[in-house]
């Protein structure tokens, strides 16, 4: 698709605006998009950091009312305010310090805090076995709580068989 403005370069920026149920779309090349951004006030380009900062800012504000001391990563010195402005974590330890604050953010973005994305084809079989073992362990736990010991023994044996298969394949850690 060519740029709607210059009709010379491929359109790589696709802008859609909906105001009062009226949809306006523009497909522009990078150069025309930069000009349109200035001329038509399309706003700053949205990058991941700005997006995360925009989402995290209200979460932080809502959870830290009235001067309550905010968290700070002891490893890199990143504060909640800094993360709210930048949308970037400073180091791997930040997940430990801000984990409770990040959970609502992940839930808002992904709808869940557990990864449910695609699995590489080469490890798909092991992944499915691990998922089955996890499911069976939960079922085993329920059977033991209900004192259904015969069913629990069957589940235990089934789990052992699956774990042996995983062990032979060099399975994913459980």
Average pLDDT, the chain: 77
174 found inside a domain = no
125 found inside a domain = yes
Alpha-carbon gap, residue 162 to 132, rounded angstroms = 8
Residues 133 and 100 in one domain: no
Residues 106 and 136 in one domain: no
Task: Give 94-152 pLDDT, tens digit per residue.
Answer: 888 887 777 887 777 777 777 667 777 787 888 888 889 999 999 999 999 999 999 99
116 found inside a domain = no
Whole-prediction pTM: 0.35
DSSP class per residue in 130-153:
HHHHHHHHHHHHHHHHTT-HHHHH
Is the pLDDT at 11 greater than 50, yes or no?
Answer: yes
Residues 53 and 105 in one domain: yes
**pLDDT level of residue 60 (50, 70, 90 thresholds):** very low
Residues 39 and 54 in one domain: no
pLDDT computed for residue 66 by the predictor: 52
pLDDT computed for residue 143 by the predictor: 94
Which residue range forms the structural domain that includes residue 75? 48-110
- What are residue 24's DSSP bridge partners? 17
Read off φ and ψ for residue 103, nearest 5 degrees.
-55, -50
Residues 21 and 75 in one domain: no
Task: Identify the domain boundary among 85, 110, 135.
Answer: 110
Is the pLDDT at 91 greater than 80, yes or no?
Answer: yes
Where do we find the tokens 């909640």? 80
Number of structural domains found in the chain: 3
59 found inside a domain = yes
- What are residue 10's DSSP bridge partners? 2
Buried b (16+ CB within 10 A) or exposed e, 66-78: eeeebbbbeeeeb
């Amino acid at each position: 698709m060519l740029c709607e403005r210059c009709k010379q370069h491929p359109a790589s920026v696709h802008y859609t605006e909906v105001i009062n149920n009226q949809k306006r779309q523009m497909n522009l090349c990078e150069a025309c998009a930069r000009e349109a951004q200035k001329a038509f006030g399309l706003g700053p380009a949205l990058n991941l950091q700005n997006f995360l900062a925009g989402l995290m800012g209200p979460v932080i504000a809502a959870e830290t009312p009235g001067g309550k001391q905010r968290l700070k990563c002891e490893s890199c010195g990143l504060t909640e305010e800094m993360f709210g402005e930048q949308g970037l974590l400073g180091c791997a330890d930040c997940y430990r310090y801000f984990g409770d604050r990040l959970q609502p953010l992940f839930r808002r973005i992904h709808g869940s805090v557990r990864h449910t994305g695609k699995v590489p084809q080469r490890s798909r079989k092991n992944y499915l076995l691990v998922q089955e073992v996890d499911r069976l362990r939960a079922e085993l736990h329920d059977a033991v709580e209900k004192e259904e010991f015969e069913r629990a023994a069957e589940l235990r044996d089934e789990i052992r068989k699956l774990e042996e298969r995983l062990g032979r394949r060099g399975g994913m850690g459980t």
